[in-house]
């Protein structure tokens, strides 16, 4: 989609529809946002008539499309409810934006002028508002068509003009750059994640990373093959891929936007392109969604792409261990003991707890970059979905400053996280009679014990772990990848670049 920032009155812009916000229970001269209050008297009277007959009250979540505007250059007006006339919370602002764009997924609407950037949002400015418009509109307009014979999408929207006061133009333009970068990163992650496991294999993921490197010279890409991992002693990672006919890949992307000697931020994303559970086979119901076990890896690529698009002055490394987890005569068996790159031996009590087996060797590999911080993200445990639902991602880590920065970034990006404890007492559950560690800790506190396992491989750097099992994709009728936590990671990178 083509976005632009406009300072002209919204009524003068030649588009298929204009979007105006409407407050609830206000006098006529106080019910519209400033761009609405600047409309012609004739158009304001028409809006007042629509409101007076009860078509819309102004509640958040309401919208009405005025399809016929007599004697006017304006073709259509979408009225969107804003609730009471007071600053909106960031999440309610995004709800307003979502209501607006979902109301305009009409085949005949190809261009819109949006006045919603001028709404006052608690603790936010026009830069943030504009960025959210781009993110929310792009997210709602995304539709997977890559493997459909009919490539037609529900939305035909091509152009969005965002109106703003002239004094806010520079701030809005900055928000537009951020929004476009993050939206592209989210779309990339969603499109990659929505592919089925027979298309998106570890080799395919590696090819997509290489393609990113070709398209964006700021990114350098290196692919480690199984022979390379064998030479490094990644016995834990390679034990997972033994059951698959698809060779494992360790994908490394580097973005050098900062000073040459500046320590990088390392992002590690789980890239399991299909997880059948191995010998500890998963139930058949819902197993198709295990193509989404690579969402962490896709999000890392998306975050790197966003950093490139925003030209952030920092150094970022993305590491993606990619494999399948399948049942086979050579697959891991419950009770097998493997040796990690760190030299720690692991008793595999459940082959379906494979994510930590590929992540632990990748965390050890991350040390060679001398990182400032390491953040791993993985669709790791169903226990996280049980504990937190689908609203926040789980957060654990060994550094309070890093975890607090991620919490703050999540609040700003409306991509929430909730921190769980990483107490020493939980480590007791990972004890093994036969190896240094067991790969599971029993049914209690599954999300925490998974992070406790990873913590053994993150002792030499500041580290945080994001469990995105509940937030990386949607199930049911609207099944599909969400692209999370690309907005969270992007905001963290923006904050780091500004510090």
> Residue 93 is part of a domain; what is its CATH number?
3.40.220.10
Contact 4, 31 (CB under 8 A): no
Q: Which of 190, 309, 356, 484 is catalytic?
A: 356
Q: Are residues 415 and 298 in the same domain?
A: yes
Clarify whether 368 is annotated catalytic: no
- Measuring CA to CA, how many Å separate 414 from each of 95, 340, 379? 11, 37, 19
**pLDDT value, residue 295:** 98
pLDDT tens readout for residues 455-485: 999 999 999 999 999 999 999 989 999 999 9
In a domain, 176, yes or no: no
pLDDT at 25 over 80: no
- Residue after which a domain boundary falls, among 93, 128, 163: 163
Answer yes or no: do 103 and 238 share one domain: no
At 105-134, the pLDDT tens digits run 877 899 999 999 999 999 999 999 999 999
User: Residue 373 sits in a domain of what CATH number?
Assistant: 3.40.630.10
* Residue 415, CA distances (Å) to 100, 186, 259, 390, 391 in order: 20, 12, 29, 11, 8
The reply to whether 312 falls in a domain is: yes
What Å distances lie between residue 77 and 112, 133, 226, 289, CA to CA? 10, 18, 58, 40
CB 303 within 8 A of CB 185: yes
From 105, 110, 282, 408, active-site residue: 282
Contact (CB, 8 A) for 40 and 15: no
130, 163, 196: which is the final residue of a domain? 163
Instruction: Say whether pLDDT at 194 is over 80.
Output: yes
CA 300 – CA 314 distance, rounded (Å) = 15
* pTM of the predicted model as reported, rounded to 2 decimal places: 0.96
Is 431 an active-site residue?
Answer: no
Tell me if 429 sits within 8 A of 441, measured CB to CB: yes
In the chain, the percentage of residues whose pLDDT exceeds 90 is: 94
Assess whether 146 and 221 both reside in one domain: no
pLDDT band at 13 (very low <50, low <70, confident <90, very high): very high
Residue 28 confidence (pLDDT):
62
HEC states along the chain?
Answer: CEEEEECCCHHHCCCCEEEEEECCCCCHHHCECHHHHCCCHHHHHHHHHHHHCCCCCCCCCCEEEECCCCCCCCCCEEEEECCCCCCECHHHHHHHHHHHHHHCCCCCCCEEEECHHHCCECCCCHHHHHHHHHHHHHHHHCCCCCCCCCCCCCCCCCEEEEECCHHHHHHHHHHHHHHHHHHHHHHHHHHHHCCCCCCCCHHHHHHHHHHHHHHCCCEEEEEECHHHHHHHCCHHHHHHHCCCCCCCEEEEEEEECCCCCCCCEEEEECEEEEECCCCCCCCCCCHHHHHHHHHHHHHHHHHHHHHHHHCCCCEEEEEEEEEEECCCCCCCCCCEEEECCCCCEEEECCCCCCHHHHHHHHHHHHHHHCCCEEEEEECCCHHHHHHHCCCCEEEEECCHHHHHHHHHHHHHHCCCEEECCCCHHHHHHHCCCCCCEECCCCCCCHHHHHHHHHHCCCCCCEEEEEECCCCCEECHHHCEECCCCHHHHHHHHHHHHHC
The pLDDT confidence band at residue 29, using thresholds 50, 70 and 90, is low
In this structure, are residues 270 and 379 in contact, taking their beta carbons and an 8 Å threshold?
Answer: yes
Q: Does residue 23 fall inside a structural domain?
A: yes
Who has greater pLDDT, 412 or 27? 412
Mean pLDDT on 344-353: 98
Number of structural domains in the chain = 2
Q: Which residue range(s) make up the domain with 88?
A: 2-163
Question: Does residue 170 fall inside a structural domain?
Answer: no
Residue 354 shares a structural domain with residue 407 = yes
Residues 220 and 356 grouped into a single domain:
yes
Residues 294 and 430 in one domain: yes
- Identify whether 123 is part of a domain: yes
Q: Kindly state whether residue 179 falls inside one of the protein's structural domains.
A: no
Predicted confidence (pLDDT) per residue in 35-86, tens digit? 999 999 999 999 999 999 999 999 999 999 999 898 888 999 999 999 999 9
Per-residue model confidence (pLDDT) at position 30:
72
Residues 60 and 136 in one domain: yes
For residue 17, what are the β-bridge partners?
Answer: 112
């Amino acid at each position: 989609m083509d976005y632009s920032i406009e300072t002209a009155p919204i009524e003068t812009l030649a588009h298929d529809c204009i979007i105006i916000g409407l407050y609830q229970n206000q006098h006529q001269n106080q019910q519209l946002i400033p761009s609405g209050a600047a409309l012609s008297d004739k158009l304001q009277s028409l809006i007042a008539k629509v409101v007076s007959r009860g078509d819309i009250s102004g509640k958040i979540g309401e919208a009405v499309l005025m399809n016929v505007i007599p004697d006017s250059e304006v073709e259509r007006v979408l009225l969107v409810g804003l609730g009471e006339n007071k600053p909106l919370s960031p999440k309610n602002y995004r709800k307003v934006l979502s209501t607006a764009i979902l109301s305009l997924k009409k085949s005949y609407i190809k261009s819109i002028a949006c006045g919603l950037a001028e709404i006052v949002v608690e603790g936010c400015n026009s830069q943030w508002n504009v960025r959210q418009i781009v993110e929310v509109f792009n997210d709602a307009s995304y539709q997977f068509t890559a493997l459909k014979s009919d490539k037609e999408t529900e939305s035909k929207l091509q152009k969005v003009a965002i109106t703003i006061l002239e004094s806010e133009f520079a701030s809005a333009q900055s928000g537009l750059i951020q929004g476009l970068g993050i939206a592209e990163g989210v779309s990339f992650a969603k499109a990659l994640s929505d592919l089925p496991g027979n298309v998106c294999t570890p080799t395919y993921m590696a090819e997509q990373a290489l393609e990113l490197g070709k398209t964006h010279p700021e990114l350098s890409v290196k692919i480690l093959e199984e022979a390379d991992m064998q030479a490094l002693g990644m016995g834990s990672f390679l034990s997972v891929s033994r059951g698959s006919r698809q060779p494992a890949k360790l994908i490394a992307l580097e973005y050098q936007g900062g000073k040459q000697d500046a320590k990088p931020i390392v992002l590690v994303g789980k890239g399991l392109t299909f997880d059948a559970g191995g010998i500890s086979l998963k139930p058949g119901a819902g197993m198709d969604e295990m193509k989404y076990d690579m969402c962490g890896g896709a999000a890392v690529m998306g975050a790197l792409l966003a950093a490139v698009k925003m030209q952030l002055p920092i150094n970022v490394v993305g590491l993606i261990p990619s494999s399948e987890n399948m049942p086979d005569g050579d697959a891991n068996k419950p009770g097998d003991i493997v040796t990690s790159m760190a030299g720690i031996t692991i008793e595999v009590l459940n082959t379906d707890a494979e994510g930590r087996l590929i992540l632990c060797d990748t965390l050890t590999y991350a040390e060679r970059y001398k990182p400032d911080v390491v953040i791993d993200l993985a669709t790791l445990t169903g226990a996280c979905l049980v504990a937190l639902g689908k609203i926040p991602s789980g957060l654990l880590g060994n550094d309070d400053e890093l975890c607090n920065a991620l919490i703050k970034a999540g609040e700003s990006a409306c991509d929430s996280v909730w921190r769980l404890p990483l107490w020493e007492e939980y480590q007791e559950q990972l004890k093994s009679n036969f190896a240094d560690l067991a790969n599971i800790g029993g049914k209690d506190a599954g999300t925490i014990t998974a992070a406790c396992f990873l913590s053994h491989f993150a002792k030499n750097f500041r580290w945080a772990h994001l469990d995105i099992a509940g937030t990386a994709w949607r199930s049911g009728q609207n099944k599909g990848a969400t692209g999370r936590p690309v907005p969270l990671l992007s905001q963290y990178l923006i904050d780091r670049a500004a510090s």
